[in-house]
Structure 1
Amino acid sequence: METLIRSVLTLQNGTLEAGDVLLMGDRIHTVAPANTIPTAPHQRIIDGTDRLLLPGFVNGHTHSSQVWQRGLIPQLPLELWLANVFDSTPQQLDQFYWGAVSTAVDTLLSGGTCLIDHAYVIPGQEMETVDALVRGYKAVGIRAVIAPLIQDLPFASGFPKGCLLPQSASPRSAAELLAMMEAIISEFHDPDNGIYIGVGPTGFHRCSDDLLAGCGELSDRRDLCYHTHLLETRAQQHLAQERYGISAVQHLHNLGCLTPRTSLAHGVWISEDDIALLASVGSTLVHNPVSNLRLGSGLAPILKAVRAGLNVAIGCDGAASNDAQNMLEAIKLSTILHNVTDSDYEHWLTPEQAVQIATIGGARAVNLGDRTGTLAPGMDADLVLYNLDHPSLLPRTNPLQLLVLGRPTDVVDAAWVQGRQLVDQGQLLTVDTATLHHNLRHQPVSRQESQAQHHPVEAHYRAVMLPSVSSLQ
């Protein structure tokens, strides 16, 4: 099938230009000046007047099952918030299916065509959980990298001086988890149909060196994304020094975990030396500004990372720490949040740079930089068409700036993934959103879960991380 989008606004080399874009099959065939590609009877013609065509964004870090915890957990530091997340994580397979559908739909309708799901999997039902996620993402049609969250150290190990806390039984061993990942990859890794399995150790704070290095070897051998949390909080920075005596980034590098396939979520507390090392090996820092603010984690050094040549992507993070999955919101915050960190305004991100980070940077983060993220002939047709005539994008000033810095709502007019149209005239073509909303509406969180706020680890956290405050109480 051929689709010709005529006289549409595109971003070419950082400049908005009107052009014609011809899609053939799953690829972008031609990009040319406006009204220069001849039409043919067999083509579908789309009038691009008052429209903006961009490559799809990549939601570079999320946890789809947290859709069910949206609006549930109060504002707490990550370590205390996470205790409540574990206590209220869904345990029904159909919740994981609808969590994937919901995450995909919200990502797609805010301009995303691909995501990384750092996915919680039900213990003892890991294969069934991944199957539910795969079915959900295939139903919507979005590209998805599913990286199951795995760890082989107990919850208490994620705290500085965690040895002082009661120790729960350790989860599976590193060898058992790596064998499980081999089985998941063999069963579900399906790049031709837009489903990719990645390796997803939760982070150095709850993973042994054997597991971290084993995931690196598996990523190398199978050419898979390696996705993990990194130095999200000051507590994790303290823990790295306590455990290794060196930077967590340097330790991961020593283990062979840092490659161009590696994407690291958060990195709020990385140093300039860490940035230089990550840039030198070609890894990606995934910025999650909404959750970093909600959890009080801090401001990631994004401007320094960009200036150092470190690849940066943008993620929403899970809905338990974001309460939404809106890529345009995450991109806006990524663009303006860091202006307060550098008084030299020439270093601030522009809307054009922000879009490149969310598209090209995101594509590199998922090991697909040669396939998607760019509006160019030969690239996969992962594209989003925005309606510039929507009231939230008026008046007609700078449409890209208004898309990034404004508050656009319901502006996705059409979207394609691998040439397949998933959205037309703002309506999803693949799944019934009314059915999705019915399922979200009729599987409420229990009253007991909704009242969860604090946790037995709170006293330890306050003693270790807030000693001056704790001593006064």
Structure 2
Amino acid sequence: MSYTIQQALIPVEDGYTTVDVQIENDRIAAIAPQLPINGTAIDGKNKLLLPGFFNAHTHSSEMWQRGMIPPVPLELWLAELYDFAPLDPEQVYLSALGTAVETLLSGGTSVVDHLVLIPGKEIETVAAAVRAYREIGIRAFVAPLIQDEALTAGIPTGGKEVEKEAFFRSTNEILAMMKDVVTQFHRPEEGINLLVAPTGIQLCSDALFTGCIELSDRYNLCRHSHLLETKAQQKLAREKYDCSAVEHLKQIGYLNDRTSLAHCVWLDDDDIAILAKTKSTVVHNPLSNLRLGSGIAPILKYRQAGINVSFGCDGSASNDSQDLLEAIKIGSILHTVTDPDYRHWITPRQAVEMASCGGAKGLNVSDTIGTLTVGKKADLVVYNLTNLSLLPRTDPIGLLILGRPTQVVDSVWVNGKQIVSGGKLTTIDIDELRQKLFHRSQWSSQRQSKTVTDIEVRYRAVMGL
């Protein structure tokens, strides 16, 4: 199908210009003033056209617990999350739809879902999320979250002997399952991409990491992982490896230009140099880092070192939202307090580039999406500049990134298909989704996590609390 977006505002080096944009099939066919109408005409007057953003790290199934978990650090938060994780693939399907809707309506056209798997139903979990993303039409990078060590292995020992719990599935079984998932669901040409994604050094053996490296190389898959999200993980890495987690991942060969790493809060200068040299990408998740007290990632240092940085919402129980524009705003202005030199601060235009091109680069797709370029895939978002939250008229991108835009997404195309029109999804029934999410949940304010009770004393002791 073809479209012509007429008289849209796009950013150029010295400001903005008004152009028409032609979309043919899945590509941007032309960008120029006063083009002839080809296909369906779209009114772009008083609207801002940008490449789609990337929600470069989230966990869709956490939606069932958003607003529920109290303010606790990650290690205790995870214990409660896993105690009450959904065990029904239909819930996974619905929360993936919800994650995609919120991402699309806040400027995202791609989502990286570090998907928490239902034990014993791993294939069904992935199938449910893939079904949701296919139906709604977002570009999906599904990263099944795998580990081969029990949750308590993620807490430092403090030098004490701690009995190690066995994980319910062997490393080889997990890797075999991942191979099956990749062969069944990895369809980049259809907008469904699989990633290898061990959860992180805190709950994964070297054997699992190296097995993922082999799968990545064999099937040309990108790699994803959490990295040094908390101070506890920094302590744990020193106990396990007698060196930093970043140095260890470099030694085993996990880091390269197809590797994206979520959080990266507790890195030192040597770690930063390694990420720059290996051309790894950092995914900045500012809201969950604040929500869980993890810290402020040194994003300005990463950018000055030449490291590619993108933005993620993180999951809906650690953020507790999938508003990508909110994550980009906080992830930009948060760093004015980390460096007094304002020339290093992130400008609104730099934030847009990080959210679009930075996301694409981290997933090895910057040659096909991430910028407004003729010949690239048509993953595009149109924002309504007459919306009250973007008025009065000043700098359109400044208003979008620094303001509090609400319901400003007018139209979205993914792979040349229009899936948002007039601010409404065209591919699924939002009212039906809303009703299902409502009726499959219930109001609740208090619950007791047995695992948190079991591990809190040890956590407080090793963290000096």
TM range (shorter): over 0.9
Match of 2:78 in 1: 82
Q: Is the CA contact 2:5–2:20 (under 8 Å) kept in the aligned structure 1?
A: yes
Q: CA deviation at 1:167?
A: 3.9
Q: CA deviation at 1:277?
A: 1.2
Q: Distance in 1 between matches of 2:37 and 2:62?
A: 46
What letter corresponds to residue 345 of structure 2 in structure 1? W
Query: In the alignment, does 2:317 pair up with 1:320?
Result: yes
What are the Cα deviations for residues 209-267 of structure 1, in whole angstroms up to 9, with x where unaligned? 01111111211221111110000000000111111111111100110101111100000
Match of 2:59 in 1: 63
Match of 1:377 in 2: 374
Structure 1 residues 109-124: aligned runs within 5 Å: 109-124=105-120
Q: Is the CA contact 1:151–1:171 (under 8 Å) kept in the aligned structure 2?
A: no
What letter corresponds to residue 192 of structure 2 in structure 1? I
Match of 2:27 in 1: 27
Match of 1:464 in 2: 462
Match of 1:419 in 2: 416
Q: CA deviation at 1:49?
A: 1.2
Is the partner of 1:206 in helix, strand or coil? coil
Match of 2:328 in 1: 331
**TM superposition score normalised by structure 2:** 0.97
Q: Relative to structure 1, is the Cα distance of residues 452 and 15 closer, same or farther in structure 2, using a 3 angstrom cutoff?
A: farther
Query: In the alignment, does 2:2 pair up with 1:2?
Result: yes
Q: Is the CA contact 1:116–1:366 (under 8 Å) kept in the aligned structure 2?
A: no
Percent of aligned pairs sharing the same letter: 54
Q: Relative to structure 1, is the Cα distance of residues 62 and 142 closer, same or farther in structure 2, using a 3 angstrom cutoff?
A: same
Match of 1:190 in 2: 187
Q: Is the CA contact 2:79–2:449 (under 8 Å) kept in the aligned structure 1?
A: no
Q: Distance in 1 between matches of 2:329 and 2:272?
A: 23
2:281 to 281, 284, 293: 284
Alignment RMSD, CA only?
Answer: 1.5
Is the partner of 1:170 in helix, strand or coil? coil
Q: Relative to structure 1, is the Cα distance of residues 159 and 206 closer, same or farther in structure 2, using a 3 angstrom cutoff?
A: same
Q: CA deviation at 1:133?
A: 0.6
Is the partner of 1:235 in helix, strand or coil? helix
What letter corresponds to residue 71 of structure 1 in structure 2? G
Query: In the alignment, does 2:13 pair up with 1:17?
Result: no
Query: In the alignment, does 2:426 pair up with 1:429?
Result: yes
Is the partner of 2:295 in helix, strand or coil? coil
Match of 1:168 in 2: 165
Q: Is the CA contact 2:150–2:165 (under 8 Å) kept in the aligned structure 1?
A: yes
Q: Is the CA contact 2:67–2:317 (under 8 Å) kept in the aligned structure 1?
A: yes
1:440 to 437, 441, 444: 437
Is the partner of 2:106 in helix, strand or coil? coil
Q: CA deviation at 1:442?
A: 0.8
Match of 1:107 in 2: 103
Identify which range, 190-199 or 444-453, moves more after superposition.
444-453
Is the partner of 1:457 in helix, strand or coil? helix
Match of 1:48 in 2: 44
Identify which range, 278-287 or 442-451, moves more after superposition.
442-451
Is the partner of 1:369 in helix, strand or coil? coil
Is the partner of 2:144 in helix, strand or coil? strand
Q: Distance in 1 between matches of 2:383 and 2:150?
A: 46
Is the partner of 2:49 in helix, strand or coil? strand
What letter corresponds to residue 74 of structure 1 in structure 2? P
Structure 1 residues 189-268: aligned runs within 5 Å: 189-268=186-265
Q: Relative to structure 1, is the Cα distance of residues 87 and 445 closer, same or farther in structure 2, using a 3 angstrom cutoff?
A: farther
What letter corresponds to residue 180 of structure 1 in structure 2? M
Q: Distance in 2 between matches of 1:450 and 1:45?
A: 53
Is the partner of 2:143 in helix, strand or coil? strand
Identify which range, 149-158 or 106-115, moves more after superposition.
149-158
Q: Distance in 2 between matches of 1:427 and 1:9?
A: 21
Q: Structure 1, unaligned stretches of length 5 or more?
A: none
Match of 1:455 in 2: 453
Q: CA deviation at 1:11?
A: 2.1
Q: Distance in 2 between matches of 1:14 and 1:325?
A: 32
Is the partner of 1:358 in helix, strand or coil? helix
What are the Cα deviations for residues 295-330 of structure 1, in whole angstroms up to 9, with x where unaligned? 000000100101111000100000010111000000
Is the partner of 2:211 in helix, strand or coil? helix
Q: Is the CA contact 1:160–1:464 (under 8 Å) kept in the aligned structure 2?
A: yes
Q: CA deviation at 1:455?
A: 2.6
Is the partner of 1:342 in helix, strand or coil? coil
Match of 1:39 in 2: 37
Q: Is the CA contact 2:360–2:369 (under 8 Å) kept in the aligned structure 1?
A: yes
Q: Distance in 1 between matches of 2:281 and 2:453?
A: 33
Identify which range, 448-457 or 382-391, moves more after superposition.
448-457
Is the partner of 1:107 in helix, strand or coil? helix
What letter corresponds to residue 91 of structure 1 in structure 2? L
Is the partner of 1:410 in helix, strand or coil? coil
Q: Is the CA contact 1:372–1:379 (under 8 Å) kept in the aligned structure 2?
A: yes
Is the partner of 1:319 in helix, strand or coil? coil
Q: Relative to structure 1, is the Cα distance of residues 14 and 217 closer, same or farther in structure 2, using a 3 angstrom cutoff?
A: farther
Is the partner of 2:202 in helix, strand or coil? helix
Q: Is the CA contact 2:68–2:445 (under 8 Å) kept in the aligned structure 1?
A: no
What are the Cα deviations for residues 119-147 of structure 1, in whole angstroms up to 9, with x where unaligned? 01111111111111111111110011111
**TM superposition score normalised by structure 1:** 0.95
What letter corresponds to residue 460 of structure 2 in structure 1? R
> How many corresponding residue pairs?
463
Is the partner of 1:317 in helix, strand or coil? coil
Q: Relative to structure 1, is the Cα distance of residues 330 and 26 closer, same or farther in structure 2, using a 3 angstrom cutoff?
A: same
Query: In the alignment, does 2:151 pair up with 1:155?
Result: yes
Q: Distance in 2 between matches of 1:455 and 1:38?
A: 67
Q: CA deviation at 1:13?
A: 4.2
Q: Relative to structure 1, is the Cα distance of residues 441 and 166 closer, same or farther in structure 2, using a 3 angstrom cutoff?
A: farther
Q: Distance in 1 between matches of 2:10 and 2:217?
A: 36
Q: Distance in 1 between matches of 2:179 and 2:91?
A: 25
Q: CA deviation at 1:175?
A: 1.5
Q: Relative to structure 1, is the Cα distance of residues 346 and 311 closer, same or farther in structure 2, using a 3 angstrom cutoff?
A: same
Q: CA deviation at 1:456?
A: 1.6
Q: CA deviation at 1:444?
A: 1.6
